[in-house]
Structures are given as structure tokens and as C-alpha cells.
Amino acid sequence: MDEPKVKIRIEGLYKVFGRAPHRGVEMLRAGKSKDEILKKTKLAVGVADASFDVYDGETLVVMGLSGSGKSTLVRCVNRLMEPTAGKIIVDDIDVTALDEAGLREIRRKKFGMVFQSFALFPHKTVLENVEFGLDIQGVPVEERRPKATEALKQVGLDGWGDYYPQNLSGGMKQRVGLARALAVDPDVLLMDEAFSALDPLIRTDMQDELIALESRVKKTILFITHDLDEALKMGDRIVLMRDGGVVQIGTPEEILTHPADEYVSRFVENVDITKVLVASDVMKKPKPVAFVHDGPRTALHKMKEAGLSGIFVVQSDNWKLVGHLTAERAAEAAKAGERWIEHLTTAEACATVPLDEPVRQIFSKVSGNPVAVIDSEGALKGVIVRGTVIAALSERGEDNV
């Protein structure tokens, strides 16, 4: 597999607030804590030596409690806040080295930003709000209007362009903010607590819509949140911050199953891990299997050797799943002199799930026969029985199975 392309590289980033902020950087490098520096110098540490990569096309979630530095960090990426030290490199461009003209250019072409506050202009229509970034870029109205209209379609607000923000619900206003960011066709979306002000149900809907939208537009998203459930749902990877520093970086499962320290352990201890684990995490290898050209006696022999009462049947060249054959059916066919098993199995008799099926949705399917895990081409990739699910959850310390 090819190495993922790095879209954003953050190297040794510091942000210290107050007079002579570089003194705070020196104290941090000398091992002083955030609280010690504040007490001795009145300097406030926002970000302390943060380093990580954001890959092209991924949703990277930066999360932490209030005061952890996550919002400060995202504002440093496009220099809404000036970093005190360190580098931010976007597509091989050092953002921290740009002059004002260069910074304006990269903001226009590379970044779209969505804030927690909707930040809509009340005197402008929805369409005019979405056009705003294009207007700032000097795009003529005959060009920007179709782009803004298409952005509204992407977020599900087709037909709302002539309304004003006062006519919209909170969730709709946030969609307008997202459409405004998408209209300029940015490479990177910076989303700072974008859904935090929404009601829980609307927030869930917006999360689902952003996931669906990302599957279509393939943007790189740096998503800031203080909510662990939101981070686990949205993130391809998670950066967990504390006191301005990065504590751990990993996939949602890595964060949950291998916490870096006691702080992370406490942070994730009450999470229902079945929300995170998927079929590929708990399946076992599909062996043995029977092939469509096998005879019933061969299939029975394989079942006997493995101690199975049934066996999955696949195509021999690509392992595409054909169905599930029981020992009883195979024995009847052998007694009747059948030569092949291909016509003895049907896919309808076999429960299947995709590789990314959440574990919590699999429980009801594994009470009886094993469940086949298949890829997008229908090839058999694994097998799940209730015992493998329970064992996998037990290894991860989950008691509620």
C-alpha cells in the first residue's frame, strides 16, 4: 500500500500569549509546566510543542477539554493566530514564513473555515452569505452564483438561497456556514467546534451529513471538538491534547484499546467500545472453506476435520461468497450421489456484513449460524461467531457483551 500523502505538517508548534512570549517557549523547552509559567511570568500557554501530520483526504479530529489548546492550534494553521514558534507546512508551503500577500493567497485557495458561531451576515440572503468568500476573491457574480448554488445543494439547502438567516433553524444556519466554506472549493476544511452549539439530534444529523459529504468531495478536514463520542464518530484519526501538548495520536480503536497514559485511560473509560469496533476488528480467518467444485463428501470431510456443523462455500478464483452449506444438507447430497455442491448453497441462507459494519449491529445476527464478512466485491474476508465477538471485546476490557 502506498504511503499516504501528507497535506499538513505541524512541526514543533508553540503559541504563548503575553509579553515576550518567546520566554515562555524557552521555559517550556526547559521542562516548566503551563501552570508554573503562568504563575511566574503571567504568560499563558496555548500550544506547547505540537507535532503531527494530517493526511490528504482524511478527517483528523483534534480533541481535548476546555483549555487544552485545540482551538488555538487550528487558528494557528491558517494564522488567524500567529504561532510563537514552529512550522506549519501545507503542500510544501511554509505558512509561517509567508508575508501578508502570500498569506491572503493561501487562505483564499487552500482553506475553508467553519466556526461554532454561525457568523452569518443577517442583512444578506442565504445565497449571498455563501457567495461571500467568492466575492472577496473577486469572482464575478455570473461565476460565483452557480458555485454558491451548487454548494447549497451539497449541504441539502437547495431552494433556500433567497431566504435570510433569521428564517433558518440552527442546523440550517450551520449548513450555510459549511456551504460558504465549500463554495471556494478549498483543499482543507478547518472546523472549530462546528456542531457544538446545535441541539443533540440536529448535531447527530450534521455529523452524518458531513461524513456523507466527505465521501463525495474528498476534502482534508481538521475537525476540532471537546466531545469524545463526536471524535470517535468523525475521525479517521484522533489527536488528543492536554495543557497545550499532544498526548496521543491514533485511530479511534487505538485510542480506546491502547491509551498512552492514565489521563487518556480516564478520558475514554466510559466509552461503549461497540460504537467503534467494526466487523474487521472481530472477525477470524475464514478457514476452512468449501469451493463450488468440491463434492459433498469433500465438504463433509473439511467440516469433520475442523469440528464444524456447516461451511461457507466460495468461488475458487476470487473467493466470492456463494453461500453456507450445513453438514446435514451435505450428508443428504452424498447419500443421493450428488457430485458437486455448487447448487446446494444459496446466498440468501447466509447472513453477511460488510467489513465496516459496527459491532453493536452484529450481535443480533450471530445468535445462530456464523456471519460472513465480505468486501465490496462480495469476496469472503472473515467469519464472525458470537464467541469471537465476546473474546474480542473481553481483550479490550469491555464487560457489557
**Mean pLDDT along residues 248-258:** 87
Helices (H), 121-278: 126-136, 141-154, 170-183, 200-217, 228-234, 252-257, 262-268
160 found inside a domain: no
Phi first, then psi: what are they for 307, rounded to 5°? 70, 35
Indicate whether 238 and 351 sit together in one domain. no
Encode pLDDT of 196-214 as tens digits: 877 777 788 888 888 888 8
Per-residue pLDDT, 300: 93
Same domain, yes or no: 263 and 308: no
Same domain, 89 and 227: yes
CATH number at residue 68: 3.40.50.300
Instruction: Check residue 400 and give its pLDDT.
Output: 43
How far apart are alpha carbons 187 and 8 in whole angstroms? 11
258 and 300 belong to one structural domain:
no
Contacts of 233 by beta carbon, 8 Å cutoff, 6+ apart: 207, 211, 275
- The highest-confidence range among 104-118, 298-312, 362-376, by mean pLDDT, is 298-312
* pLDDT score recorded for residue 5: 92
- Decide if pLDDT at 127 tops 60: yes
Say whether both 203 and 343 belong to one domain.
Answer: no
Residue 331: φ, ψ to 5°? -65, -40
228 and 301 share a domain?
no
- Mean pLDDT across the stretch 158-183? 88
Is the model's pLDDT at 138 over the cut of 90? no
58-76: average pLDDT: 92
In a domain, 128, yes or no: no
Same domain assignment for residues 388 and 344: yes
Give the residue from 228, 252, 271 where a domain finishes. 271
pLDDT in tens, 295-337: 999 999 999 988 888 899 999 889 999 888 888 888 988 888 8
Q: Given a cut of 50, is residue 399 above it in pLDDT? A: no
pLDDT at 368 over 70: no
Provide the pLDDT for residue 397.
Answer: 52
What DSSP line would sit under 251-316, residue for residue? Answer: -HHHHHHS-SSHHHHHHHTT--GGGT-BHHHH-B---S-EETT--HHHHHHHHHHHT-SEEEEE-T
* pLDDT at residue number 136: 80
Provide the number of structural domains found in the chain: 2
- pTM of the predicted model, to two decimals? 0.70
Q: Which range marks the domain in which residue 217 is found? A: 6-121+187-271
Residue 388 has pLDDT above 60, yes or no: yes
Give yes or no: residues 299 and 382 share one domain.
yes
Query: Does residue 173 belong to any structural domain of this protein?
Result: no
Q: Is residue 258 part of a domain?
A: yes
264 and 319 share a domain? no
- Looking up cell 473439511 gives 302
117 and 235 housed in the same domain: yes
226-252: average pLDDT: 91
Q: Is the dihedral of CA 324, 327, 328, 332 positive or negative?
A: positive
pLDDT at 101 over 60: yes
Write the CA distances from 132 to 12, 68, 71, integer angstroms: 34, 32, 24
